[in-house]
Amino acid sequence: MYDLRDYDTMFADPLRTTAVLAAIRAAVRPGDVVVEIGTGTGYFAVAAARAGARHVYAIERDDVAVVAREVVADNGVADRVTVIHGDASTVTLPERGTVLLEDTRGILPFNDGRIALLRDAWARHLVEGARCVIASDELWAAPSVRPAPDGDALVVLESTVHGIDRRAVERRLRDQWRRVRLDAGALLGAPARLLTLDVATVVDADAEARVAWTAGRDGTLDGIAVWFDAALAGGGRLSNAPAAPRLLYGQAYFPLTHPVPVRAGDTIRLDWRAMLVDGSYLFAWHTRVAPRDGGEAVEFRQSSLAAHAPALGTLLAAGATAGSRGHS
């Protein structure tokens, strides 16, 4: 859940906001009905009304919907924007929309529940052939050296800190993806496309991809960087790629179990999966590094499930205890 400052920080990102506003102007035509999922503070709903929409249904499940109503009124479009405080998957609209306005992705397009919301929107809230302000997300990846320290990163991946052996913690943290900020110089190979998520046609909440790189230079492979490149209405693009101008998102980073030296010409292969389990995403990444000289390959099989093993063990133990009590 975001707080009010989070919403304003997103709007304050000049690259993101300028791109989305341009896409709204390109997608919305006079007389359109716009359905917005996740209106937040209502800024983009106001923009859609000003672009000529006959009506905007701005849906927001969090309490910030109260603020959105004030923003809509303060901007003089309350007669054409209805802010609905509720979950998009359960609300019923009085009419179907001709334009979908939705930007509920985070660093990755696989936010919990997003795909289900999109499927439901096409089934219940939109006319066939409705236009999308944000049409698709391409997911890209590249092998990376260890990210430089960032002001937003509080996790220090060192085996010993202040004389305390923290390997048990580090092992688990390396089975979690995290947000980083990289530049193009951190990459050890050319970016490769993992997959494309089409907002209008996506069905499966799970995703998987297999890619390979040839290391472009010598270095120490520490993990895999992943980012999105979004296609917007009107031909605009929005990307959190390391080589792109900096957005608020940063990149997703999937560490290896431990760093591996690589030489230019070595082959790096990745099998990557995103799996929606009980409403939350788990990620799995299998990485294989094969030396160009035919030497022994190094493989890592990792999953974010492993990082939650202590909690999983507690739940299983609790279930077993409850079961034994039920049979006593």
What is the Cα–Cα distance from 122 to 22, expressed in whole angstroms? Answer: 23
Question: Which tokens sit at 148?
Answer: 């430089």
Own/partner long-range contacts of 113-118 (Cβ < 8 Å, ≥24 apart): 113/89, 113/279, 115/202, 115/203, 115/204, 115/205, 115/276, 116/89, 116/205, 117/37, 117/88, 117/89, 118/199, 118/202
pLDDT tens track for 144-199? 999 987 644 445 556 666 888 888 888 888 999 999 999 999 999 999 999 999 99
Distance CA 144, CA 186 (A): 6
pLDDT at 14 over 50: yes
Query: What DSSP state is assigned to residue 258?
Result: E
Cβ(164)–Cβ(195) under 8 Å? Answer: no
Predicted confidence (pLDDT) per residue in 231-288, tens digit: 999 999 999 999 999 988 899 999 999 999 999 999 999 999 999 998 889 999 999 9
Q: What is the pLDDT of residue 328?
A: 40
What is the rounded distance in angstroms from the CA atom of residue 117 to the CA atom of residue 53? 22
Sequence-distant (6+) residues with CB within 8 A of 154 are none
Model confidence at 200: pLDDT above 90? yes
d(CA 210, CA 226): 13
CA distance 278 to 192: 30
Q: Kindly list the structural domains of the chain, giving each domain's residue range(s) and its CATH number in brackets, ordered by start.
A: 4-132 (3.40.50.150), 137-313 (2.70.160.11)
Model confidence over 50-70: pLDDT tens digits?
Answer: 999 999 999 999 999 999 999
